[in-house]
Amino acid sequence: MTEIRNRTLATWVKDMAALCTPDSVHVCDGSQQEYDSMTQLMVDAGTFIRLNDALRPNSFFCRSDPADVARVEEFTFICSKKQAEAGPTNNWRDPDEMRQHLNGLFRGCMCGRTLFVIPYSMGPIGSHISKIGIEITDSPYVVCNMHIMTRVGTAVLDVLGDSSDFVKCLHSVGMPLEPSQADVPWPCNANNKYITHFPETREIISFGSGYGGNALLGKKCFSLRIASVLARDEGWLAEHMLILKMTSPKSEVHYVAAAFPSACGKTNLAMMNPTVPGWKIECIGDDIAWMKFGKDGRLYAINPEAGFFGVAPGTSMQSNPNALLTLGANSIFTNCALTPDGDIWWEGMTDEPPCSLVDWLRRPWTPACGRKAAHPNARFTTPARQCPVIAPEWQDPKGVPISAMLFGGRRGGVVPLATEALSWQHGVFLGSIMASEKTAAAAGKVGELRRDPFAMLPFCGYHMGDYFAHWLRIGAGADAAKLPKIYYVNWFRRSPEGKFLWPGFGDNSRVLKWVFERCAGKAEAVETPIGRLPTAKALDLTGLKLPEQNVRTLLDVDTQGWLAELPSIREHYDSFGARLPAALKTELETLERRLKAAVKG
């Protein structure tokens, strides 16, 4: 077994073992042999089903408990010393009271199980942008998924050395076993779920759930909630953003980061096949971007993850062929349906569903039964290295220089296809008012507008008013000429009849081409009250056969629509109280003046 030489880590592991009383302790070395032994352990326990090796080599299927299928935002807490630090967008609990409660839950919680110590790096091991976490867990499912999603093993301990600079992540499924008690395929504690974050001490403690980001604590818990606090304190950015590389026919390169709420095509954009001839798009990351300033004054980004943990339903060769091709081997599938020949399936995967399946609840399924075969939040975990369009520099420890940032949401009206911010401050304003219309999968009324600033609403680990201020400080302390340009995009504009005006998917590369050319100082734009918009000529629509009326609407400024939205933006801003930066109030007032002047003009 791997030896722990770091005294701080060794003491913590010893203390947690004394609290949780596992039968044994295993320190993960990150080897293929370890991964294989974990998967076999779960096959033997009935947790994993080995898929048909001829169809999907070294891949596994599993079903969670029906009470443990998604993130549990209502049981997710920021335990800052002062409630005001958590802000209005987070659930808060007093850290001392929460620790006392959690200690009671964790006492003896690993009886009959193994305590696994997972040393992992968020980002390339040894990069100055990367951070180290140590997750203690009693779930071999977590071990396997962390092997895919992060860089796990002894090399991480070597880089850590004697330092105490690591994020402590403690997790348990919360189901101890008596000496004669049989285990279940998916242990969890449905009645006691807590996903807690202690920003001042850089700790994450999760109890009761074995699913997704509740248990894989390198995901949103570390990469955003804790990392956003680290970024604030250390002067960098930890963002819910994809990173892509775009190469022109002349081999010029720009890197773009983009933030979108759920159901807005984030992963599809990260892995798209562009429709513009001669242009190439490659993926650096599909979900998280950590960005620090380089010696040249530019922002450099890494993808801190090593894999993709994606929503399976809707992923197909039409919507995202590169994602589907990534899943061809070495993957884990959770809560999908199982085919008779030992493969997986989910809604939208093929044009026609199979004649028969076993659904995620182990029931026989046919197309006529009227039920979903896969859970709507069914997931795949797969290595990023397998993506056909992964960029060669996706693991470069220096990161990649970001030329542009995109913000956007699902908006049927008001927001044009693409808008360039007038300045960094104006770009922060656009990010702060981001909104998306709810889909049928979201709670609330379909079409209702939900503000999701920077797509960080569930993930910012501190007061979001202070988060806006941090973005403004980042810009104020930098060379404006070297900062990324900021854009507000909307692929989802509709006609009065409800039809999409823009084709989306691979044709979004046409907007990216305009952004690329703006970064190179080549493309035209027209200044409007809301920002700079592309001219119809500047947008490459070759071969698209888009009706002229569609183009006019997509590039039109709906002045009255924006004026009508101002009260909603003010209400949104009021929720942040005195911590809302004055600069954003100024931007809002300036926007109103420009819009009213346009009406009079």
Q: What residues are annotated to the active site?
A: 264
> What are the residues facing 117 on neighbouring strands?
27, 136
Q: What are phi and psi of 73, to 5 degrees?
A: -60, -35
Cβ(207)–Cβ(190) below 8 Å: no
Measured CA to CA, the distance from residue 170 to residue 101 in angstroms comes to 14
Measured CA to CA, the distance from residue 511 to residue 515 in angstroms comes to 6
Single-letter amino acid, residue 431: G
Single-letter amino acid, residue 578: A
Tell how many helices (H) and how many strands (E) occur in the chain.
16, 31
Other Cβ atoms within 10 Å of 421 Cβ, number:
22
Measured CA to CA, the distance from residue 513 to residue 158 in angstroms comes to 43
Q: Is the dihedral of CA 413, 417, 422, 425 positive or negative?
A: positive
Token pair listed for 323: 């994602």
Measured CA to CA, the distance from residue 153 to residue 51 in angstroms comes to 26
Which one, of 499, 507, 586, lies nearest residue 542 by Cα?
A: 507
Token pair listed for 394: 């996706």
Which one, of 270, 267, 285, lies nearest residue 379 by Cα?
A: 267
Give 2-39 as a 3 state SS string. Answer: CCCCCHHHHHHHHHHHHHHCCCEEEECCCCHHHHHHHH
Cβ(166)–Cβ(9) below 8 Å: yes
Taking CA atoms, 175 is separated from 25, 394, 510, in Å, by 17, 39, 52
Which one, of 419, 599, 433, 434, lies nearest residue 527 by Cα?
A: 419
Give 483-541 as a 3 state SS string. Answer: CCEEEEECCCCECCCCCECCCCHHHHHHHHHHHHHHHCCCCCEEEECCEEEECCCCCCC
Q: Is the dihedral of CA 156, 160, 166, 169 positive or negative?
A: positive
Measured CA to CA, the distance from residue 405 to residue 298 in angstroms comes to 13
| Number of residues written out for the chain | 601
Pairing of strands 151-152, 194-198: unpaired
Gyration radius of the chain over CA positions: 24
